[in-house]
Amino acid sequence: MSRKLEVSLAQLDFAPLAPIGNGEQLIETATSEAKNGAGLIVFPELCNTGYVEPLAPGEGFPSGAASHTEYAKQLYNAAANHDGALIKTLSAVCAHYDCHIVVGLALRSATQSGKLYNASLLLGPGGIQACYAKTHLWHNEKLYFTPGRSMPVCDIPAARIGMQVCYDIRFPEVTRCLALGGAEVVTNIWASFRHANVPLEDPDTFRHRAYTRAQENGLFFVSCNRVGRHGGMQFMGRSLVARPDGSTLAALDHEQTGILRASLALDEIAEYRMATGILNDRRPELYSAIADVAK
């Protein structure tokens, strides 16, 4: 019997430092998509807090914060706890509808006060099933977040899931490590933006990136970006799902709010990998020698 996974990618806008309103939107959307039959619902990066300020080096604080110190306090206050109401409610949605959720949150450390992660959580009927903290922090994210040190792969009923966040996609080692850990589906959640008055140079940039990571590992690559304006920046949307051969299964070719639904035929993974030998033909004994020299 063929395996399938119904996924919904929620390409949404989120308000800066507004965890209550943003949380309500997450819960409403998750409930709606779960009712619609989604087995996996994917949300973008930093849904609860919006993206960090300044959005880019040299920019100001659209929220009105007077300094990095003041903004850091506001960001920490808006972040989620592992045992907080938002995670509990989203997990209850999973339990009621027998589904799973991948959501990007600014997450407080469960053990060390004052430490934050840019996290991608896999939630299921039993609560948090896996927590991935972004390992490659982009520009000003380094001012607020601690980089992660692990790359978990987790089973859900239909597939094995690995997660990454935004900038991680530019480091092929991340997706490869997840694939070698058994991942069949890798989710990449974004808060990727451009200057609002500067057109996107290549509208297919997200397709190119997803195509490459999917094809070189023979897995489904689920790319979910946010939309909306923040200060002078425009988030670029264009969420998509790439098949194991890199071809696009489904896509939103715009920067507006929307839900992208796709059915992943998971048997395509073994078919592609057997046809190409993409994992069997690796030569790790050669790569490790070069990697040692390049450290």
Instruction: Show pLDDT as tens, one digit a residue, over the chain (295 residues).
Output: 689 999 999 999 999 999 999 999 999 999 999 999 999 999 999 999 999 999 999 899 999 998 999 999 999 999 999 999 999 999 999 999 999 999 999 999 999 999 999 999 999 999 999 999 999 999 999 999 999 999 999 999 999 999 999 999 999 999 999 999 999 999 999 999 999 999 888 999 999 999 999 999 999 999 999 999 999 999 999 999 999 999 999 999 999 999 999 999 999 999 999 999 999 999 988 888 777 766 6
**Measured distance CA(45)–CA(42) in Å, rounded:** 10
Beta bridge partners of 37: none
Which are the contacts of 229, defined by CB distance < 8 A and separation ≥ 6?
A: 196, 235
- Note the pLDDT of residue 294: 62
Query: Looking at the 3D structure of the chain, how many domains does it have?
Result: 1
User: For the whole model, what pTM was predicted?
Assistant: 0.97
- Containing domain of residue 227, as a range? 4-294
Q: Using alpha carbons, select from 82, 88, 79 the residue that is nearest to residue 130.
A: 82
Residues 265 and 250 sit within 8 Å (Cβ to Cβ)? no
**CATH number assigned to the domain comprising residue 18:** 3.60.110.10
Give the DSSP letter string of 85-132. HHHHHHHHHHHHHT-EEEEEEEEE-SSSTT-EEEEEEEEETTEEEEEE
**Measured distance CA(258)–CA(235) in Å, rounded:** 13
